[in-house]
Amino acid sequence: MKPLDGVTVVALEHAIAAPFATRQLADLGARVIKVERTGAGDFARGYDTRVKGQSSHFVWANRGKESLALDLKQDAAREALMRLVDRADVVVQNLAPGAAERLGLGWAALSARRPSLILCDISGYGNDGPYRDKKAYDLLIQAESGFLSVTGTPGEVVKAGISIADIAAGMYAYTNVLAALIERGRSGRGRHIDVSMLEAMAEWMGYPLYYAFEGAMPPPRAGASHATIYPYGPFDCGHAIGQPGTVMLGLQNEREWQLFCDRVLGRTELAGDARFNTNSVRSQHRGLLRAEIDAVFAGLTAGQVIERLEAARIANAQVNDMDGLWSHQQLRARRRWSEVATPAGPVAALWPPGQRPGEARMNAVPAVGEHTDLILRELGYADPEISALRASQAV
């Protein structure tokens, strides 16, 4: 038995934020019915063709769901949707601003129709306020939330390499739905959840917000290094011996700084150097300190540096690429890889964090409209009615 067995989620979703949220619910056992446009379906299906001809985004965010294809411009399709909503526990939507209300899926209409229903709206800026109708995509929210102002190099802002604003909003939607299900179990009543990408990212920006409290200078952009702790970031190794590499390391306190100088650099005298003997002065003089570190690391391979760091119990990491992540020995040792079916054949997939192998439900990624007839029959449509809906292209 899965934690959300018996819970039905209707998802009017596209792209990343809502699909990522509902995939977590599907992993926990919820039945997630994804309502897609007839024909092309969720436009994220067309983002790329990297996974056996399928979109990497779509395969990642849509396993374990059923696909119902409806042309919601037609009255007959909207009627089918409302029949489905009448059987649902949760509705999740990230349609364009105002679209849900035009379909009769606003909170006022749905709560009057089904007081126990949970509605989760995911949008760029929220359901009210002056930005309510403003279009929002992940990169734009990275900019609007101030994330870009602290990410990159001193000369250039740099976006996150993943859809961080979508993922943040999706995770807050997911956790709020779980909380609403617990609350409904006590009160019997549903809840309206209004998650905005901007608010999700603003919460994640808490450290730089408070660092810049009351007009103080914000943390500077420091590339892959930490903005205010040093040394903490990537360091090149092995150039003097023709074996270049990169090691990521991080120090958190003065005890570790002394160990780093003694056991890693072999420069015990640096620990007491007035330019480097506290984190604040190390950060101020990071150029000078980097030169000292680079001089030692240039004659060591990345493996040798990591051996020294491990012996000194200094935190470190390899700078992996995607091949390195696919083959990561820790993920393999903990049996974190599984397999899911897709319309183009099986693909590898990671078990959800926090769930042991075999605990989550890892069902297939659906084709567009793959479950349309099955769902319509469950809603009471007879085969001749389904044929008529197909003939009119309502499904």
Predicted local confidence at residue 57, as pLDDT? 97
Predicted local confidence at residue 163, as pLDDT? 97
Give the count of domains, the chain.
2
Q: Do 22 and 158 reside in the same domain of the chain?
A: yes
Token pair listed for 245: 């590499």
163 is a domain residue: yes
Q: Do 105 and 174 reside in the same domain of the chain?
A: yes
Dihedral through CA 14, CA 16, CA 22, CA 26, nearest 10? 110
DSSP reduced 3-state for 335: coil
DSSP reduced 3-state for 249: strand
Q: Which has the closest alpha carbon to 68: 393, 376, 392?
A: 376
The CATH number linked to 142 is 3.40.50.10540
Q: Helices 164-187 and 17-27 meet at what angle, rounded to 10?
A: 50
Q: For the segment 114-162, what is each residue's pLDDT rounded down to a tens digit?
A: 999 999 999 999 999 999 999 999 999 999 999 999 999 999 999 999 9
Tell me the one-letter amino acid at 53.
G
Instruction: Identify the band that residue 295 occupies on the pLDDT scale cut at 50, 70 and 90.
Output: very high
CB 338 within 8 A of CB 270: no
Predicted local confidence at residue 317, as pLDDT? 95
Q: Do 121 and 147 reside in the same domain of the chain?
A: yes
Cα–Cα distance measured from residue 386 to residue 82, given in angstroms and rounded to the nearest whole number: 16
Residues with Cβ < 8 Å from 390, sequence gap 6 or more? none
Token pair listed for 163: 């859809």
242 is a domain residue: yes
Last residue of a domain, one of 290, 319, 348: 319
User: ∠ at Cα 307 (301, 310), nearest 5°?
Assistant: 140
Predicted local confidence at residue 257, as pLDDT? 97
Q: For the segment 227-244, what is each residue's pLDDT rounded down to a tens digit?
A: 989 999 999 999 999 999
Q: Which has the closest alpha carbon to 264: 299, 212, 227?
A: 299
Task: Tell me the residue range of the domain where 66 lies.
Answer: 8-205+335-391
Helix (H) or strand (E) holding 333: helix 329-333
297 is a domain residue: yes
Instruction: Identify the band that residue 10 occupies on the pLDDT scale cut at 50, 70 and 90.
Output: very high
DSSP reduced 3-state for 73: coil
The CATH number linked to 260 is 3.30.1540.10
Token pair listed for 11: 């998802």
DSSP reduced 3-state for 8: strand
Q: Helices 75-85 and 383-391 meet at what angle, rounded to 10?
A: 130
**Euclidean distance between the first and the last CA atom of the chain, given in angstroms as a whole number:** 33
161 is a domain residue: yes
**How many CA atoms lie within 13 Å of 134's alpha carbon, on the beta-carbon side?**
16
Instruction: Identify the band that residue 359 occupies on the pLDDT scale cut at 50, 70 and 90.
Output: very high
Mean pLDDT for the chain overall: 96
- Region 302-312: mean pLDDT is 96
CB 335 within 8 A of CB 355: no
Q: Do 296 and 367 reside in the same domain of the chain?
A: no
Q: For the segment 34-75, what is each residue's pLDDT rounded down to a tens digit?
A: 999 999 999 999 999 999 999 999 999 999 999 999 999 999
Q: Do 201 and 57 reside in the same domain of the chain?
A: yes
CB 189 within 8 A of CB 116: yes
Q: Do 185 and 296 reside in the same domain of the chain?
A: no
Tell me the one-letter amino acid at 10.
V
Residues with Cβ < 8 Å from 303, sequence gap 6 or more? 245
Q: Do 292 and 376 reside in the same domain of the chain?
A: no
- Cα–Cα distances (Å) from 223 to 28, 146, 211, 219, 287, in that order, read 37, 16, 18, 12, 14
Q: Do 56 and 185 reside in the same domain of the chain?
A: yes
Where do the H-state alpha helices sit in 145-163?
none
- Region 329-334: mean pLDDT is 97
Q: Do 189 and 236 reside in the same domain of the chain?
A: no
CA 145, 150, 155, 159 dihedral sign is negative
Tell me the one-letter amino acid at 90.
V
